[in-house]
Structure 1
Amino acid sequence: MGNHSDNHTCVTDDSFKYNLYGAVYSVVFILGLITNCASLFMFCFRIKMRNETTIFMTNLAVSDLLFVFTLPFKIFYNFNRHWPFGDTLCKISGTAFLTNIYGSMLFLTCISVDRFLAIVYPFRSRTIRTRKNSAIVCAGVWILVLSGGISASLFSTTNVNNASTTCFEGFSKRIWKTYLSKITIFIEVVGFIIPLMLNLTCASLVLRTLRKPDTLSQIGTNKEKVLKMIVVHVAVFIVCFVPYNSILFLYALVRSQAIANCSLERFARTLYPITLCVATLNCCFDPFIYYFTSESFQKSFYITSDLKSDSLCKTETALTTQVIPPAIREEMSVQAIRNGRDLMSESHF
């Protein structure tokens, strides 16, 4: 694949990305579908008390599932290097990807800010941390990410080349320079830099609060639990999104010829597919955030296991009652009473 400018010709080859995308998308589709469907089931049917954090997590799970549902089309495209599904579905697929990446970052930021308010300002934030305000914030996030994703898909996203059709690639230098580069800068600032700063700031302030045991006792939690929450949250954000967005900025510069350097272009076009695949793995990692951030989510697992144990015990009791004859059951009861009296006598001694 070549990238041409008026002053130089830089030949690059990033065809390895097709097999890489196909393999990674296949894994993300299977794991993401299972984990996010299970998480959404927990939020909708197992967790009775829906608080502010649960609302953010439910929207994050929905965002992940919307992206996961488009992956079969992307898997077919990357393994066959041909998009037969039309321009409309290509737009939807591209919009779902952008919505998931930046929607995930914004919803994770909402969770981080919510936890920060709950831990650092547990009493003063009660009027702010309401389900109504959380729903309003979620609606604002959806409007923002959908408008950004749709705006990136306004132009024709499919291109016919040598009897094969591409989807969301092969754009000319003019489109990159006049259109895509501006969109990239906007989504980088709003969808990445600001959320990154907010997440790091909230994490540092919460860590500072851990030095005050009185505050932790007021909110009814412990230091170890808060530390796990911060580590998992920040790790998912940094591992999945920082490499991708850092390379995306450089990738946009070399594709729009703002930087005309063959070495940098090869570097960007080689790392961009790799970091993009890592970014898509956030669909599989988000359930870990649900588990370590929400106590209700943790308890739902225990409740489910307890219900299974109770049902098993009831089944065994019913079977035992049916099999043992009444006379033997009566004798066993008398023997149990005698044994109980013997144990009480031993305890007195």
Structure 2
Amino acid sequence: MEQNLTDLLGSSGSEDMLMSYTSPTPNYSAAYEYAFDYSELHIICHPEGIPEFAPTLFPVLYSILFVTGLVGNALVVWVLTVYMKIKTMTDMYLLNLTLSDLLLVFSLPFLVQYSIVSQWTFGNALCKIISSVYFIGFYSNVFFITIMSIDRYLAIVHSLHVQGIRTTAIGFITSLVVWVVAILASLPDLLFFQEVNDNNQIKCLPHYPSGNNGWKTFSNFEVNILGWLIPVVVLIFCYHNILKNLQKCHTKNKYKAIKLVFTVVILFFLSWTPVNIVLFLDSLKNMHIINDCQTSQRLDLAVELTEALSYVHCCLNPVIYAFVGEKFKKHLCGAFKKSVCFLSNCKGYGAFGGRSLDKHSSLHTKSSQLSSVGTVL
């Protein structure tokens, strides 16, 4: 089981391992055994067996995340495109963030099957496609969270100076640039991931030229820098200044906005920091800076667990970026009422249309600075 997510996402390779497998028993109690060859130290490092909970935990977890992520993000796309009509830069970024979430969600069914049968059965083309889809979804997800943080910072801290800049057209162009950068950042995974036969098991692995760990280390550091370090610096700067600005407000909604800011930052840290720490340790192992046998034994399982944790974020994004917003909740309630009335042949269901909500929302937005805060938060 140790290969189900790790192999697919390329967080740990098998090129630097001497591997020998024992046949798993029907209850999965037998462990896969492999040895790290530390030739300079004259040590053969035999990692610990994969825990018995793993073959059950990962398929169940991925299935739950798939259902919740698909429903939540599809609901956001439905409301944004059908009822809200993408009228602001914030709406544009939220739509693209949701699409990046869906890319991550769509890779989960393959991981469910992969974790159950412990082999890749979808062919070489899908191996490249799914691995690329994951990394494009990952990079675009983090980038759009970063862009939305900048958008919130500009809208709240410099609201008087950016009124002519925060347009839907600018949001569309910025979104295109983000997707291009995400695709370019994912090119190494498209090039190197392929279907391979590893000890009579078909796997989806990154196959680097001549078994060179340099590319693998580069890929790990790319994730660390582009997918964590830069976004964290931007988030801290933006939300620190947003909090300073909120301190000047003296209304009952002030603390609700502050709580939301802390929720966004804390969830980002909890979701993405663990996997980046493990990838950094994996890079140190590839560079032979870490030669500790016990640490190497546990890295593969740690990568699987932390990558599974990172998937939770794509299920929480609809909650922290859409459902908590007053504007979005009004449109959501209106959409449900209109749909229920339509299905039950209710007369006058047009009263729940988006036009009245847009009018109310725009009046509310213009009323005060805090209303602007509520719109972008």
TM-score range, shorter chain: 0.7 to 0.9
Alignment length, in residue pairs?
Answer: 311
Provide the residue aligned with 1:198 in structure 2.
Answer: 234
Q: Secondary structure at the match of 2:45?
A: strand
| Alignment match of 1:120 (pick from 153, 157, 161) | 157
1:132 is aligned to 2:163: no
Q: Which amino acid aligns with 2:312?
A: L
1:219-234 correspondence to structure 2 within 5 Å: 222-234=253-265
Q: Which amino acid aligns with 2:167?
A: T
Contact 2:275 2:306 in 1 (8 A): yes
1:82 positional shift:
0.9
In the superposition, relative to structure 1, how do residues 301 and 151 fare at CA in structure 2: closer, same or farther (>3 Å)? same
1:157 is aligned to 2:194: yes
1:315 positional shift:
4.8
Contact 1:102 1:192 in 2 (8 A): no
1:248 positional shift:
1.3
In the superposition, relative to structure 1, how do residues 284 and 313 fare at CA in structure 2: closer, same or farther (>3 Å)? closer
1:45 is aligned to 2:76: no
Q: What is the TM-score when the length of structure 1 is the normalising length?
A: 0.80
Q: Which amino acid aligns with 1:97?
A: Y
1:309 positional shift:
8.0
1:22 positional shift:
2.2
5+ residue gaps in structure 2? 1-33, 349-377
Contact 2:66 2:108 in 1 (8 A): yes
5+ residue gaps in structure 1? 318-349
Q: Secondary structure at the match of 1:213?
A: coil
1:19 positional shift:
4.3
Contact 1:52 1:131 in 2 (8 A): yes
In the superposition, relative to structure 1, how do residues 135 and 315 fare at CA in structure 2: closer, same or farther (>3 Å)? closer
1:207 positional shift:
0.7
1:183 is aligned to 2:213: no
1:288 positional shift:
0.9
Alpha-carbon deviations, 1:172-215, whole Å to 9, x = none? 8964622110122123112210001111111111111112128x
Q: Which amino acid aligns with 1:249?
A: F
Question: Structure 1 residues 70-79 or 190-199, which shifts more?
Answer: 70-79
In the superposition, relative to structure 1, how do residues 316 and 47 fare at CA in structure 2: closer, same or farther (>3 Å)? closer
1:67 positional shift:
2.4
Distance 1:206 1:47 in 2: 26
| Alignment match of 1:301 (pick from 323, 332, 341) | 332
In the superposition, relative to structure 1, how do residues 256 and 98 fare at CA in structure 2: closer, same or farther (>3 Å)? farther
Distance 2:44 2:265 in 1: 41
Q: Secondary structure at the match of 1:152?
A: helix
Contact 1:99 1:149 in 2 (8 A): yes
Contact 1:94 1:168 in 2 (8 A): no
Contact 2:285 2:291 in 1 (8 A): yes
In the superposition, relative to structure 1, how do residues 175 and 55 fare at CA in structure 2: closer, same or farther (>3 Å)? farther
In the superposition, relative to structure 1, how do residues 302 and 13 fare at CA in structure 2: closer, same or farther (>3 Å)? same
In the superposition, relative to structure 1, how do residues 294 and 176 fare at CA in structure 2: closer, same or farther (>3 Å)? farther
Contact 2:135 2:186 in 1 (8 A): yes
- Between the aligned residues of both structures, percent identity stands at 26
In the superposition, relative to structure 1, how do residues 164 and 153 fare at CA in structure 2: closer, same or farther (>3 Å)? same
In the superposition, relative to structure 1, how do residues 136 and 89 fare at CA in structure 2: closer, same or farther (>3 Å)? same
Q: Which amino acid aligns with 1:180?
A: K
Provide the residue aligned with 1:3 in structure 2.
Answer: 36
Distance 2:154 2:344 in 1: 43
Q: Secondary structure at the match of 1:168?
A: strand
Q: What is the TM-score when the length of structure 2 is the normalising length?
A: 0.74
Alpha-carbon deviations, 1:261-311, whole Å to 9, x = none? 212223433322111110011121111122356443122123235546877
Provide the residue aligned with 2:249 in structure 1.
Answer: 213
Q: Secondary structure at the match of 2:192?
A: coil
In the superposition, relative to structure 1, how do residues 156 and 51 fare at CA in structure 2: closer, same or farther (>3 Å)? closer
Contact 1:177 1:257 in 2 (8 A): no
In the superposition, relative to structure 1, how do residues 69 and 308 fare at CA in structure 2: closer, same or farther (>3 Å)? closer
1:44-123 correspondence to structure 2 within 5 Å: 44-123=81-160
Distance 2:86 2:120 in 1: 44
| Alignment match of 2:60 (pick from 5, 23, 28) | 23
1:259 is aligned to 2:290: yes
Q: Which amino acid aligns with 1:160?
A: N
1:235 is aligned to 2:261: no
In the superposition, relative to structure 1, how do residues 312 and 72 fare at CA in structure 2: closer, same or farther (>3 Å)? closer
1:273 is aligned to 2:304: yes
Distance 2:323 2:256 in 1: 8
Q: Secondary structure at the match of 1:89?
A: helix
1:290 is aligned to 2:321: yes
